[in-house]
């Protein structure tokens, strides 16, 4: 695959990823996805154009070349949503490159993404969320592992953290505080409260953990002492939901949706929930909570009263 990239194009790709990492604060998983998307586009263009294109050829790419790539992706049964994401990556690369080197990338930037139905979040019921938290405790006979898993899922549900945010917490936070300063997507920071039940769960895990939880090390550890990975959390939740008969949508991310929805149902203010989740747009929070348009307009009117 790397043979489809000339040294100059490979350098461009690495410079763009370095920019995203250093200036934009993109997460490693996001950078990997960007690399795959853009590399896949460039590999196709190498075959389509009859050889690895250099920067000049890529700057002169036509709408027909882009449509050919999109058609080939759909021919490989790539879904509309995945193709739209890949196109977004390509546009991001070209947008950065055009701004840096001063050329017109309108043809790429104006390409329309395939339409796809919006996938609405599916939070757990309040009973389902409680059952999930208690059921996770029964998945491992090792007390410290069970306590760790309970602590993670309690934070996801109790504070609305993304799984990446929970697993990036530093052990130097111990003893766990009443509130956390979280750095989310795009480096945006927010403060989230920690419920007493979550503090207790983390404290129990820390007391049982056989690994040194010193400052500068990951709070949540795998069996061998390395940083706990998101797949481990997903697996323990998968085993739990199968035992409890919960839907397949009962994933780590669903706990974040559940946090927002249940908080709203209990009378929480949508604007406050937006801040807790770290959303830039209220409409994103609306989707997370599945709140209806009438409730959204109530919040909007309260925030923007008419003269």
Q: Which residues are catalytic?
A: 162, 185, 253, 256, 279, 288
Q: With contact defined as beta carbons under 8 Å apart, do 209 and 203 qualify?
A: no
Evaluate the omega torsion of the peptide bond into residue 175 and state whether it is cis, within 30 degrees of 0: yes
Phi, psi values for residue 13, rounded to 5°: -60, -45
Report residue 181 CA to chain centroid gap. 18
Is-contact 146 222, C-beta < 8 A? no
d(CA 33, CA 37): 6
The C-alpha angle 79, 186, 297, rounded to 5 degrees, equals 75
């Amino acid at each position: 695959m790397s043979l489809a990239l000339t040294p100059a194009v490979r350098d461009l790709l690495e410079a763009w990823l370095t920019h995203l990492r250093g200036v934009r604060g993109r997460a490693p998983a996001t950078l990997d996805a960007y690399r795959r998307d853009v590399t896949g586009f460039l590999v196709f263009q190498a075959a389509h154009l009859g050889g690895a294109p250099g920067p000049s050829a890529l700057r002169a790419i036509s709408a027909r070349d882009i449509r050919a790539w999109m058609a080939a992706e759909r021919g490989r049964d790539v879904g509309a949503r995945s193709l739209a994401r890949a196109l977004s990556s390509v546009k991001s690369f070209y947008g950065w490159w055009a701004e840096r080197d001063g050329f017109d990338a309108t043809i790429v930037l104006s390409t329309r993404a395939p339409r796809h139905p919006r996938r609405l979040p599916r939070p757990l019921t309040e009973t389902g969320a409680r059952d999930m938290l208690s059921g996770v405790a029964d998945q491992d006979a090792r007390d410290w592992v069970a306590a760790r898993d309970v602590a993670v899922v309690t934070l996801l549900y109790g504070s609305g953290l993304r799984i990446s945010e929970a697993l990036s917490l530093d052990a130097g936070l111990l003893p766990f505080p009443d509130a956390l300063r979280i750095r989310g997507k795009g480096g945006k920071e927010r403060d989230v409260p920690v419920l007493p039940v979550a503090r207790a769960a983390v404290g129990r895990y820390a007391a049982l953990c056989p690994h040194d939880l010193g400052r500068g090390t990951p709070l949540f550890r795998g069996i061998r002492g390395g940083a706990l990975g998101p797949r481990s959390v997903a697996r323990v939740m998968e085993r739990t939901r199968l035992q409890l008969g919960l839907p397949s949508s009962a994933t780590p991310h669903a706990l974040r949706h559940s946090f927002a929805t249940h908080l709203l149902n209990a009378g929480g203010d949508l604007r406050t929930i937006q801040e807790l989740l770290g959303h830039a747009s209220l409409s994103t929070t609306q989707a997370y909570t599945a709140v209806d348009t009438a409730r959204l307009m109530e919040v909007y009117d309260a925030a923007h009263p008419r003269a």
